[in-house]
A and B are shown apart, each in its own frame.
Chain A
Amino acid sequence: MQLSTKHLLGIRELVPRDIQLILDTATQFKEVLQRPIKKVPSLRDVTIVNLFYENSTRTRISFELAEKRLSADTINFSASGSSVSKGETLLDTVNNILSMKVDMVVMRHSASGAPHFLAKHIPAAIVNAGDGINEHPTQALLDAFSIREKLGTLEGKKIAIIGDIMHSRVALSNLYLLKKMGAEVMVAGPPTLIPTYMKEAFDVRVEYNLQKALEWCDVANVLRIQLERQNQVLFSSLREYNLAYGLKKSLLDRLDKEIIVMHPGPINRGVELDSDVADSKQSIILQQVENGVAVRMAVLYLLAGRGESQNN
């Protein structure tokens, strides 16, 4: 049994069996991470480059840890301070790195589709660590892993994705994944941040009222307001956004059930999520980060196991 794909470009390209395989493998890696020696020799002969054209804390550290825990050799590349500023193209940069016998590329880029472009032109396996406003597949996988860990299954569970749907690659990857795994999905937020085609394109519920969204869902996955990707005024102020769409303790206390609160990070405290909610018992934000390493280990392990790297 192996993945149906050579790269992890997005959740869109995966079949449900792939997702199941990644999540099941991640369960075994999570156990590895509880051991006294949290390291296995599986990828001893694999070299991985982490190519980050965009800023990142969690994803980058998480990938790097995952690679180290698998005993892979790693090199880190960030666009700032590299020859990118001298005008080198993406393809040239990557081909130069690959000529030094690198097997896998983990990449983040601000242009949607950058990893897909690369996949057409280079022989190495590519893992998308976020491309523009397209996808962030490992985030969706770790979200799914965390939900499954809490609720046992994804099937039939009600997940509300709340906030900046339009600019969020996390939202898109989550939508693909949750629909493929049989969850019920709702997107909630201000009308200006939810594309009008959402309902038809993804067959999801759309809700503009936060209170109603919370009453409906088992899990609230709250997204960051992506100010860096917004080039027009889509809501009047952060303060007003917080008043209408910020997740507050008073809102959660009003519910007759305890829902799970998630956030992919980094949090804008006091904008989409209030501090007392982010740090509450209901929030599994730090578990998400913890699970991220196991999920990324699973992805790298399964892709390397396809044995299509150039050193072979």
Chain B
Amino acid sequence: MKTILSEEQINLTVKRLSHQILENCPDLSKACIIGIQPRGKWLSDRIIREIRLISPASAVAYGILDITFYRDDVRNELRIANETDIPFSIEDKQVILVDDVLYTGRTIRAALDALLDFGRPAKVELCVLIDRRFSRELPIQPDYVGKSIDSIITERVKVGWKENEGKDEVVLL
């Protein structure tokens, strides 16, 4: 087991990602953050809290998206659905999808399908805490990256959050 990011590093990284997103969103009223269930939500919760701290006047819309029903492996492995809550229109918005780890890209493919069923956004961007480079099975790349790592297929990246696992930590197993 090897620690990739410690609690302190995660804090700094979340702050940096939030600043980068703000930099790239000239008009926050036209942007929205959408966390991908179940594990992207922990990161998007942090980012939205940070953005509201940095820029309290601007209300950036925040939603969560469950992609279970859009997966391409329903019949191999049954997954239990989580809540989806997007209480605003994404029509013509700049959508920033948030997930913890980008690996094969299949989750993001499903998330794009799910998202487009809610309307036609002006632009969709992707923000991830960990990018496992060179392991993509689909042509999907992130716009905001916490940390890029090189890993082999037998390794697992585990992102822990204080709210869930009791400790902020990213480890390579």
Which A residues have a C-beta under 8 Å from some C-beta of B?
1-2, 21, 24-25, 28-29, 31-32, 35-37, 39-43, 45-46, 70, 301-302, 304-307, 309, 312
Contact = CB atoms under 8 A, between A and B. Distances in A.
B interface, over-half SS = loop
B83 A305 contact: no
A40 B70 contact: yes
Given A31-B83, A37-B117, A39-B117, A2 B78 contact: yes
A36 B118 contact: yes
B84 A42 contact: no
A28 B70 contact: no
Name the interface size band of chain B.
20 to 34
B80 A304 contact: no
Contacts of B84: 28, 31-32
A40 B69 CA distance: 6
A25 B81 contact: yes
Nearest to B85: A31
B78 A42 contact: no
Contact of A35 (B70, B76, B117): B117
Nearest to B116: A37
A89 to B, nearest CB: 31
A21 B80 contact: yes
A302 B77 CA distance: 11
B162 interface: no
Contact of B80 (A25, A32, A37, A307): A25
A305 B78 contact: yes
30 contacts: A1-B78, A1-B80, A2-B78, A21-B80, A24-B81, A25-B80, A25-B81, A28-B83, A28-B84, A31-B83, A35-B118, A36-B117, A36-B119, A39-B117, A40-B69, A41-B70, A42-B68, A42-B69, A42-B74, A43-B74, A45-B75, A46-B75, A301-B69, A301-B74, A304-B74, A305-B74, A305-B77, A305-B78, A307-B78, A312-B75
A interface, over-half SS = loop
Interface of B: 66, 68-71, 74-85, 113-114, 117-119
Contacts of B75: 45-46, 304-305, 307, 309, 312
A24 B117 CA distance: 22
Contact of B69 (A21, A24, A32, A307): A32
A65 to B, nearest CB: 16
Contacts of B83: 28, 31
A36 B117 CA distance: 7
Q: Which 7 A-B residue pairings sit nearest by Cβ, starting from the closest?
A: A305-B78, A40-B69, A28-B81, A37-B117, A42-B69, A307-B75, A2-B78
Contacts of A41: 69-70, 113
A72 to B, nearest CB: 11
Given A29-B81, A32-B69, 12 more contacts: A1-B80, A24-B80, A28-B81, A28-B84, A31-B85, A40-B69, A40-B114, A42-B69, A42-B74, A45-B75, A46-B75, A305-B77
A40 B103 CA distance: 23
Contacts of B71: 42
Nearest to B113: A41
A45 B81 CA distance: 19
B67 to A, nearest CB: 10
A39 B117 CA distance: 8
